[in-house]
Amino acid sequence: MASRSKNRRNTPLIVYCSQTDNTRRVAEAMASPLAAELVSIEQLKDYQLRGRSLIGLGSGVYWLRLERRIVDLAAKIPDGCRVFIFSTSGWRGRVLADFFQSELAKKLAQYHVDLIGKWHCPGHDRQPLFKWLQISRGRPNEDDIADARAFAASLKTV
Ligand SMILES: Cc1cc2nc3c(=O)[nH]c(=O)nc-3n(C[C@H](O)[C@H](O)[C@H](O)COP(=O)(O)O)c2cc1C
């Protein structure tokens, strides 16, 4: 039992929500340099959060916010854990990215965790009502995926 908890401590965890696959692709790219365990929010069991020292939380933006279940995880992160957040959205821009991530960042600030990084990129909007507009078509692209990988690699030294 003790060794399982020790293994979890040494292995970063990335939890993501992805309705149309964009954020999952980003999450997979981030998992690689960190050798992280990758779990969708649908598959996550609470015990998988226990004992972690590094957790990534990622989501697409749905109706102006990150998925509620990802935001609610803030309350379940172990004390002292380092956390990074990432997201993808149809609409672009740093200001919007900050807005979309602010709810989760504020919630994390209520707990004893250390927010060490934030990352965002555009993601092709396949929502049925808007998909004819082709918003952020082709994103995340190869550069976005490379950037996600580099971001995650940089966290190893934080
Ligand atoms: C149901 C739904 C609602 C969305 N609402 C927004 C939104 O409010 N603002 C935005 O910029 N993008 C919105 N999008 C686009 C997604 O944020 C974008 O495509 C994102 O990359 C989806 O991530 P995913 O493929 O991991 O689910 C929406 C997409 C869907 C499917």
Residue type, 87: S
Ligand 1 neighbour 18 (Cβ under 6 A): yes
Residue type, 126: R
Pair 56, 67: CB distance under 8 Å:
no
What number does the ligand 1 atom closest to the CA of 26 have?
26
In whole angstroms, give the CA distance from residue 61 to residue 150: 22
CATH 3.40.50.360, domain 2-155, yes or no: yes
Pocket test for ligand 1, best of 20, 95, 100 (most atoms within 8 A of CB): 20
* Residue (of 143, 134, 101) closest to 120 by Cα position: 101
| Position 4 pLDDT exceeds 70 | no
Pair 58, 87: CB distance under 8 Å:
yes
Query: Can you give the pLDDT at residue 129?
Result: 87
Domain chopping of the chain, boundaries: 2-155
Does pTM top 0.75 for this prediction?
Answer: yes
What number does the ligand 1 atom closest to the CA of 64 have?
8
| Position 32 pLDDT exceeds 80 | yes
| Position 5 pLDDT exceeds 90 | no
